[in-house]
Amino acid sequence: MARAGVLREIGRPFSIEEVELLAPAAGRVIVRTHASPFCSTDVKNWKGQLYKIPPTILGHASIGEVVEVGPGAPAALVGRRVVVPGTPECGACYYCSIGEPWQCGELFDLGGIYPDVARGADGALISCAGCVGGYAELMSISANQVFPIDSDLPSDVLSMLGCGVSTGVGSVVNIAGLRPGESVAIVGAGHLGLWMLQAARAFGAGRIFVIEPHAGRRAIAERLGADLVLDGVDGEATVARVQEATGGRGVDIALEAAGPTAAQRLAVRLTRRGGRTVLSGFEIGGADVALPQVETALQSRQILSTQNGHVHMRTDLQRYAGLLERGLLDPKPVYTRSYALDELDLARDRSGSLEDVCGIVVF
């Protein structure tokens, strides 16, 4: 038995209840959860904007200790502390075989129908949203989605590796391919944007611009060394200010970490001709982004996608933990506070109201 925060009805309080975890199926492991960040994506999931089907356990990135393995899963995992990121790496699907594990079929070929991992008191099966289900004391996870981590850092800090840190650092390094001295604009200074900002600084960005409507988050971006921080309320004025500060051209790299389609359009418009824009947010399933045609078709601007930072989980998570250990990335400005599982609704409310940059459910 394990306590879990179950999404039983869209838009209703989480049901904190005892569930019976199913015995691990072939290739799966049971992980005793240490910590799971409350990601802003789960506010959208709770509102029913991203097609999650109740009853389900949200929480798509986590950390914990492997306590049991199912048939065919490596027994050596038992007792290991593992990061459970948002993306598996099966090594065998089409995408893994061509070196693009961030589109691993073990997650993305499921069509949004996730494995059942537990049974509620009513006997009905409960799924794990995104194949993780981190808002529970125990998780049933594919052995392809747990990655051992060696670090002296506490689990609450390391829990941020699986979504925010990997997507933030990966967007800068793997996707935008930041070269020393390049100018960077970050649209949205939430938990993802602030990791992008720290990564841009750590990897040698030139001038860094941050566009963020929330005053408290703008203040954090300033403390983290952004050169110019704007509220972005007037899009045209924002583009003009950034162009003015970049020789009339626009930035080399724009990183969007906000969600609204208008923010994605703004990010593209902030770049110079030939600049790169990395889009990461999503507002609601089915939304379209309108982009300026000449600027994208004729002026060589590149529109890039990030999915979990295009990281190779087996190698990059340990490396990114090293960035935290050496202080190149600082968790403090991002990690607002911790929550007990019983406080899951409060964590959601404070994420939705932007009071928290990142709250972490600790067990």
| Residues making contact with Zn ion (CB under 5 A) | 39, 41, 90, 93, 96, 104, 163
- At 98, the amino acid letter reads I
Q: How far is the CB of 80 from Zn ion (least distance, A)?
A: 21
Q: How far is the CB of 60 from Zn ion (least distance, A)?
A: 6
Q: How far is the CB of 167 from Zn ion (least distance, A)?
A: 7
Q: What are phi and psi of 128, to 5 degrees?
A: -110, 110
Of the pair 94, 154, the CB lying nearest Zn ion is at 94
Of the pair 27, 120, the CB lying nearest Zn ion is at 27
Beta strands in 39-111 (DSSP E): 56-57, 62-69, 81-84
Of the pair 82, 96, the CB lying nearest Zn ion is at 96
Q: What are phi and psi of 318, to 5 degrees?
A: -65, -40
Q: How far is the CB of 101 from Zn ion (least distance, A)?
A: 6
Dihedral sign for Cα 124, 129, 135, 136, please: positive
Q: Do the bridges between strand 138-142 and strand 125-128 make them parallel or antiparallel, or are there none, so unpaired?
A: unpaired
- Beta-carbon contacts of 98 under 8 Å, excluding residues fewer than 6 positions away, are none
Q: How far is the CB of 232 from Zn ion (least distance, A)?
A: 22
Nearest residue to Zn ion by CB is: 39
Q: How far is the CB of 295 from Zn ion (least distance, A)?
A: 30
Integer CA distances (angstroms), 297 to 249, 253, 293, 300, in order? 17, 17, 6, 7
Of the pair 41, 246, the CB lying nearest Zn ion is at 41
Give the three-class secondary structure for 301: coil
CA 213 to chain centre: 20
Give the three-class secondary structure for 119: strand
Of the pair 89, 182, the CB lying nearest Zn ion is at 89
Of the pair 145, 174, the CB lying nearest Zn ion is at 145
DSSP secondary structure letter of residue 191: H
